[in-house]
Amino acid sequence: MKTYSDTTYAILGILTTDCRSGYAIKQFIDQSLHHFWKISYGQIYPTLKSLVEEGLAEVQISSTPGKPDKNEYSLTSKGKETLKNWLEQPIKQLPVERNEILLKLFFSRHQPKEKTLLLLESYKKDLESRFQTYAAIEQAITKYHDTSADTMYWLFTLDYGKRITKAAVEWCEAAFDKLLHEGV
């Protein structure tokens, strides 16, 4: 079976919701996948076009009077098949996430400790504010949505974000202390 980029599968997945236009897809991503996936218009529109060429989706122009025309996409059975097939495959390999803070830290012997401490502190602040964002979204979901199956999967992704962020904060603190006390 032919394989596509993960972004293609993401769009395939979104087309199972009632987001059917490029514009709506972008909104969906910005609202719901924002913490682990981003796509720009510059990629969405060309991808939608290629989905049609590949026979994974069909397009239909919908004109609502008083609103701009839009291209509404919907999955073909081949598209649904492709999505399901991708869902059950284990991931190709654990990604090596490029990490800017680790890269800086790795070479930080070339700068005074105080500067490295400031770097860590600033990073920690960013992480903490990210954690708060996740917690707030989680709150909002559990409050306003019922605990349906759909919601559960959504919450999984937020829980992941929270756990990873928390671990990173703890690492920051540990590294900070070590730097302070080591070799003074």
Enumerate binding residues for DNA (CB under 7 A): 5-7, 21-24, 27, 38-43, 45-46, 48-49, 66-71, 98
Smallest gap from residue 79 Cβ to DNA (A): 17
**Subset of residues 39 to 68 that bind its own copies, contact rule: CB under 8 A:** none
Smallest gap from residue 112 Cβ to DNA (A): 28
Angle at 49 between CA 23 and CA 78, to 5 degrees: 105
Give alpha helix (H) positions in 90-148. 100-106, 113-144
Measured CA to CA, the distance from residue 118 to residue 124 in angstroms comes to 10
Q: Residue 74 binds which entry of its own copies, DNA, none, with Cβ cut-offs from 5 to 8 Å by kind?
A: none
Stretch that binds its own copies, among 45-53, 54-62, 64-72, 115-123 (CB under 8 A): 115-123
Q: Rule CB under 8 A: is residue 180 a binding residue for its own copies?
A: no
Closer CB to DNA, 18 or 146, in the complex: 18
Measured CA to CA, the distance from residue 143 to residue 125 in angstroms comes to 27
